[in-house]
Amino acid sequence: MKLKTLMMSVAFGALLSACGGPLPEETESTEPVLGTTDQALCEGWDSGARYCTWRCTSSQTTHYFAGYGDVPYGNCREHADRQCGRSAYSVCWSKL
């Protein structure tokens, strides 16, 4: 009987997940990130990164950085766009 209860619980949990229920390990990030080739550079604000890092174009090989703590959380995209003079191609937080 206990095995049947366990199997029903597992099946019910799988059904909830399949119907759009959030899985515990899923997180939602609002910070934009650089392309996949640049992911080693982008650690993210939650990991202690405080340099706003950006590239203005996809063909640009140089990354630009704002000084440590010079850009407040939530303003990295705005800062990068202002520096590029248009919408930056990619933006993220890095530890440098």
pLDDT tens across the length of the chain (96 residues): 555 554 455 555 554 444 454 444 444 444 444 544 455 689 999 999 999 999 999 999 889 999 998 999 999 999 999 999 999 999 999 997
Tell me what pLDDT residue 40 has.
Answer: 63
**53 within 8 A of 63, measured Cβ to Cβ:** yes
Q: What is the pLDDT at residue 31?
A: 46
For residue 13, give both structure tokens.
Answer: 């949990």
pLDDT at 10: 52
